[in-house]
Amino acid sequence: MQKIIFVATLLFTQTVTLLAQKNKQNPNDTRPNIIFILADDLGYGDIAINGQKHIKTPNIDKLAQQGVRFTQFYAGTSVCAPSRSSLLTGQHTGHTYIRGNKGVDPEGQEPIADSVLTVAEILQKAGYQTGAFGKWGLGSVGSEGDPNKQGFDQFFGYNCQTLAHRYYPNHLWENGQKIVLEANKNLLENKEYAPDIIQKKALDFVDNRVKDKPFFLFLPYILPHAELLVPNDSILEYYKKQFNEKPYKGNDYGVEATKGGYTSQEYPHATFAAMVSRLDLYVGQILEKLKQEGLDKNTLVIFTSDNGPHKEGGADPVFFNSSGGFRGVKRDLYEGGIREPFIARWTNVIKPNSQNNHIGAFWDILPTFAELAGVKAPQDTDGLSFVPTLKGNKTQAKHAYLYWEFHENGGKQAVRQGNWKAIKLDASTNPKNEVELYDLIKDPAESKNIAKQFPEKAKELEGLMNSSHVESTLFPFVNQTK
């Protein structure tokens, strides 16, 4: 009997090994697969590895333990579309094509132009199979900004970020095909949870990939963006026992849902926690899929968020310390609005369980991925490849400064130069408004404006704001260089 068990075990082990070997890419192509996981409105402090006390994120924590946790990495800006434009185009928001959340009829957002080269196009032309699963928000289906026209072989999810405000939508998109979710009955019922459907498609992409090609998998998840809503499963039941709740009243599924907004939520704290835990579950499923397919050794996995935490729909970033002790939330250019969790794992390349203070931003992604693919980045990028940092080299190039702008609420601008951070509020409505100045080493919470103590530094950084902004006719701000 023992001999039979031994032989059966041996045969099973050999079968698994052969399948793993079969699923590996062309051995002559040693370039890494790349998975970029982008959470939506997840704050720096919303994950346990960054100090979150109320929410369990074991898979994200494990990712950090197996890789590197960056402590000073920034989003493109503090809302969805321009931040993602910065990510995909390698340009900061003073240069990138999309600089605001601008909707178009009948569905979608202002499209990225044909002339814009995205990181997905670069990787696609370099021989990578490319897929995006989640929320797009950078061009309607069929427009020049359609993800299939911006470098992605496959897309599944929400094309329009406004429709992504609902977790039980009436439809999603698979490339150019509208996928109607009949069970949701046009927002009358909540039967088919879109994030779960999208996650299955993402896992299928790994299963069905072209086996002899490296791949780029972009996962712009919508969790934990408002509305506050998850399936009523064991995750939510666990968190329902953890908090005292103040219900939120919104526009519920049914007739009220057609008015927009978000659904009511009896358990807003528990639901938000469950949303972050569900995001963590998805991360775990991706990592397990890589392991099953024998891809975990040569795949770079990056996890981050598009901007700081939101306050809409009953969310409570103060209670959860979602900004991680930094000032500000979504729509702010203070640290809480743009400094993001950023974790990278690349087995046998990145030093495990490490922390890095390298200062980087979303526009660094394009030149980094281009270098990994063995091709040159376009000259108009504002980014710097941080491949040397990932590989533990000390020859990493550094930014002279980082720049952001934000087009809502009167306009905002910010510059970081070393330890210095300057912010200008009402920058478009009042260009002559004085800048605020902070020392992020002594005052990471940006609690003490020291512009009057260091007027020359404040003036210098204001000059960088002026020179970094190039006026856009599509997204006008203010041309301060005139």
| Closest to 344 (Cα-Cα) out of 310, 395, 392 | 392
* 321 and 267, same domain (yes or no): yes
* 335 and 404, same domain (yes or no): no
- Does the residue 179 lie in any domain? yes
Model pLDDT for residues 49-74, shown as the tens digit of each residue? 999 999 999 999 999 999 999 999 99
* 364 and 410, same domain (yes or no): no
> Above pLDDT 70, what percent of the chain?
94
The pLDDT-based confidence of 4 (bands split at 50, 70, 90) is very low
**DSSP secondary structure letters along 339-394:** EEEEEEE-TTTSPTTEEEEEEEEGGGHHHHHHHHHT-PPPTT------HHHHTT-S
The pLDDT-based confidence of 28 (bands split at 50, 70, 90) is confident
Q: What pLDDT was estimated at residue 26?
A: 64
**DSSP secondary structure letters along 446-462:** -----TTTSHHHHHHHH
* 300 and 359, same domain (yes or no): yes
Model pLDDT for residues 419-433, shown as the tens digit of each residue? 999 999 999 999 999
Does residue 259 have a pLDDT over 90?
no
Q: Domain total for the chain? A: 2
Please report, for the domain that includes residue 425, its CATH number. Answer: 3.30.1120.10
pTM comes to: 0.93
* 341 and 391, same domain (yes or no): yes
Please report, for the domain that includes residue 336, its CATH number. Answer: 3.40.720.10
Does residue 481 have a pLDDT over 80?
no
Count of CB atoms situated within 10 Å of the CB of 418: 13
* 263 and 135, same domain (yes or no): yes
- Does the residue 53 lie in any domain? yes
- Does the residue 13 lie in any domain? no
* 291 and 370, same domain (yes or no): yes
* 473 and 457, same domain (yes or no): yes
* 71 and 189, same domain (yes or no): yes
Residue ending a domain, choose from 369, 384, 399: 399
The pLDDT-based confidence of 201 (bands split at 50, 70, 90) is very high
* 344 and 452, same domain (yes or no): no
Q: Cα 130–136–139 angle (5° rounding)?
A: 105
Residue 291 structural domain: 30-399
* 233 and 322, same domain (yes or no): yes
Residue ending a domain, choose from 355, 373, 399: 399
- Does the residue 38 lie in any domain? yes
- Does the residue 174 lie in any domain? yes
- Does the residue 336 lie in any domain? yes
HEC readout, 381-392: CCCCCCHHHHCC
Rounded to the nearest integer, the mean pLDDT of the chain is 93
Q: What pLDDT was estimated at residue 409?
A: 94
Model pLDDT for residues 149-194, shown as the tens digit of each residue? 999 999 999 999 999 999 999 999 999 999 999 999 999 999 999 9
The pLDDT-based confidence of 394 (bands split at 50, 70, 90) is confident
* 312 and 442, same domain (yes or no): no
| Least confident range of 21-25, 73-77, 156-160, 309-313 | 21-25
